[in-house]
């Protein structure tokens, strides 16, 4: 029995002028063996493999990303449609619906439920709007008759008598109810998108001067400052624009401080006219203000009058600002509550130029 002792092989790398060689050598009892392999072919193969990976991996990742984007986009398309319709759901956007024919089966039931909800909301709102409009219209005639009868009876009683005082108080309440009915009727028309406008050229400078004369008579204790020019003309319904200004100036007087002030200024651009009415007042709570983040502006809510402890002695029912904004929007403009320093309140009426 023969036992051959073999030494462990040894490997070295040698570089010549021709190529790089990998040499392995080992010894046997009677011989020595060495094998040399050129690494040039191996390096070429590794370079080829590296280039393939550098091109194929980014390409594969790009294809995966594009495929994932297309698949997720198709899956999320119904959600985007639903989101878009929800964003358009306002008083005048309840007729929006999501088409079902192009919708994935997974979202079919959700969209059907959403469309049914919009239908119920539209039907309920239409009924409520029609009711308020019909009620205001039906009450208009008896209130007009009642006001006429009270005025005629008031002329027949003895001046200064207790009966005259009572009739005068009743007449004031009837006139107040008539004003409420007119506002409700206008609001119902605005909700239905049927507020008709008799468009003529309106001189806003002239209307502001008329309002200033009323302020001087109603609140002579207030200081009035003006900053507007003559010839500010817009295309609009003169009577409805007067309604806006009357509401704004009425609020500026009612919510003003003792011996306070009112400022009127205008800013004109080639396309719009901005009329700002500022008055001294107590601070409006942040919950009532427009904080420009999509929250609902409560001060324009109908019948909303803020904290009753702050305004229980102030006349009104909270319809003036809501109606004024609806009229402004019917003119393709807007009415906004501005951000002001403490102790001030400012409203800006924006109207398109003629």
Distance of CA 280 to the CA centre of its chain: 28
d(CA 170, CA 182): 18
Buried b (16+ CB within 10 A) or exposed e, 143-176: beebbeebeeebeeeeeeeeebeebeeebeebee
What pLDDT score does 354 carry? 66
Same structural domain, 262 and 279: yes
Same structural domain, 139 and 218: no
Same structural domain, 243 and 325: yes
What pLDDT score does 237 carry? 86
Tell me the β-bridge partners of 37.
22
Instruction: Give the residue ranges of DSSP H helices in the chain.
Output: 40-87, 105-156, 162-191, 204-218, 238-254, 308-311, 320-330
In a domain, 232, yes or no: yes
Same structural domain, 117 and 213: no
| Dihedral sign for Cα atoms in the order 159, 163, 165, 167 | negative
In a domain, 49, yes or no: no
Buried b (16+ CB within 10 A) or exposed e, 221-250: ebebeeebeeebebebbeebbebbbbbbbb
| Residue range(s) defining the domain that contains residue 205 | 199-352
Same structural domain, 176 and 228: no
In a domain, 184, yes or no: yes
Same structural domain, 139 and 261: no
Cβ contact 285:307 at 8 Å = yes
Say which residues have a Cβ less than 8 Å from residue 135's Cβ, sequence separation at least 6: 184
In a domain, 94, yes or no: no
Same structural domain, 216 and 347: yes
Same structural domain, 136 and 167: yes
What pLDDT score does 85 carry? 67
In a domain, 230, yes or no: yes
The CATH number covering residue 231 comes to 3.30.565.10
pLDDT along the chain (354 residues), means of 10: 60 75 76 76 80 84 86 73 69 67 66 80 71 68 81 81 83 78 73 75 90 88 87 87 89 87 90 91 67 54 57 58 86 88 89 82
In a domain, 210, yes or no: yes
In a domain, 204, yes or no: yes
What pLDDT score does 313 carry? 46
How many domains is the chain partitioned into structurally? Answer: 3
What pLDDT score does 179 carry? 74
Tell me the β-bridge partners of 150.
none
Instruction: Write down the pTM of the prediction.
Output: 0.57
Tokens of 191: 């909700």
What pLDDT score does 37 carry? 76
């Amino acid at each position: 029995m023969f036992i051959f002792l073999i030494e462990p092989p040894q490997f070295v790398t040698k570089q010549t002028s021709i190529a790089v060689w990998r040499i392995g050598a080992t010894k046997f009892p009677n011989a020595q063996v060495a094998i040399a392999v050129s690494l040039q072919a191996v390096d070429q193969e590794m370079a080829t493999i590296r280039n393939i990976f550098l091109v194929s991996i980014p390409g594969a990742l790009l294809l995966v990303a594009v495929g994932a984007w297309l698949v997720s986009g198709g899956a999320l398309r119904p959600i985007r449609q639903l989101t878009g319709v929800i964003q358009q759901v306002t008083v005048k956007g309840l007729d929006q619906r999501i088409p079902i024919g192009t919708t994935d089966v997974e979202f079919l039931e959700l969209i059907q439920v959403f469309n049914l909800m919009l239908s119920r909301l539209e039907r309920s709102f239409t009924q409520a709007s029609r009711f308020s409009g019909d009620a205001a219209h039906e009450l208009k005639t008896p209130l007009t008759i009642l006001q006429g009868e009270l005025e005629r009876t008031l002329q027949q009683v003895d001046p200064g008598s207790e009966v005259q005082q009572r009739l005068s108080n009743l007449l004031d309440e009837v006139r107040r109810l008539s004003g409420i009915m007119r506002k409700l009727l206008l609001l119902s028309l605005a909700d239905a998108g049927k507020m008709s406008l008799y468009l003529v050229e309106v001189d806003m400078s002239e209307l502001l001067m008329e309002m200033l004369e009323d302020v001087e008579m109603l609140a002579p204790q207030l200081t009035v400052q003006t900053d507007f020019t003559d010839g500010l003309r817009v295309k609009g319904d003169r009577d409805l624009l007067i309604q806006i200004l009357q509401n704004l100036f009425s609020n500026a007087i009612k919510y003003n401080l003792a011996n306070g002030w009112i400022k009127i200024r205008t800013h004109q651009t080639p396309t719009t006219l901005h009329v700002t009415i500022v008055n001294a007042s107590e601070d409006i709570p942040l919950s009532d203000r427009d904080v420009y983040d999509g929250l609902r502006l409560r001060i324009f809510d109908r019948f909303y009058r803020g904290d009753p402890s702050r305004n229980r002695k102030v006349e009104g029912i909270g319809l003036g600002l809501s109606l004024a904004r609806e009229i402004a929007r019917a003119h393709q403009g807007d009415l906004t509550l501005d951000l002001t320093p403490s102790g001030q309140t400012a409203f800006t009426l924006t109207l398109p130029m003629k």
